Amino acid sequence: MDDARSFSPDDDSPIFVISVAATLAGMHAQTLRQYDRLGLVSPSRTRGGGRRYSGRDVAMLREVQRLSQEEGVSLAGIQRILELENQVAALRGRVLELTDELERSRLASQARSTSRVFAVGPTGDVIAVRAGQRPRMQRSQALVVWRPSHH
């Protein structure tokens, strides 16, 4: 189906040209260019080098403007805030990965502890034993001859 209803861009789709993004963010296009140069909001680029902003970029532009105008934070301060927020997001993601890994490890450990263990009994038969135990050995009638090698 090739109609407009089948297309639903997500927040990361670079769809807005700079003039539209500037209007949506409520600021001048030159301000967007400055923020791009400073690395505060970095839009995607077309092959020809044109900027394309996503919904997430527009929301970030609004947040940068709010921090600057309402909170009085300098652009350098805003840049540091954004860096720290990115680090926090990355760390949260890593914590989730490690939590999942730990849970998988626990489940695997539980599966191992409930599995059956087998050993060779005194007569050569395979017998079930508890994990960590050896089969009870009867006195062997075997004769073992040991000859030390002379090097």
Torsion over CA of 51, 87, 92 and 11, rounded to 10 degrees? -10
Q: Is the pLDDT of residue 145 over 80?
A: no
Residue type for position 61: L
Tell me the residue type at 59: A
Domains along the sequence of the chain with CATH = 9-73 (1.10.1660.10), 74-130 (no CATH)
89 CB neighbour count, 10 Å cutoff: 10
In Å, how far from its chain's centre is CA 69?
34
Confidence of residue 1 (pLDDT cuts 50, 70, 90): very low
Query: What totals of helices (H) and strands (E) does the chain contain, helices first?
Result: 4, 4
Q: Note the pLDDT tens digit of each residue in 12-69.
A: 888 899 999 999 999 999 999 999 999 999 999 999 989 999 999 999 999 999 999 9
Which residue has tokens 């044109």?
Answer: 50
How far is the C-alpha of 29 from the C-alpha of 82, rounded, in Å? 21
Query: Do residues 63 and 55 make contact, with C-beta atoms less than 8 angstroms apart?
Result: no
| pLDDT (tens digit per residue) in 119-140 | 777 777 777 777 777 767 665 5
The strand pairing partners of 128, in sequence order, are 118
**What is the residue whose two structure tokens read 């001859």?**
145
Please give the structure tokens belonging to residue 43: 């839009």
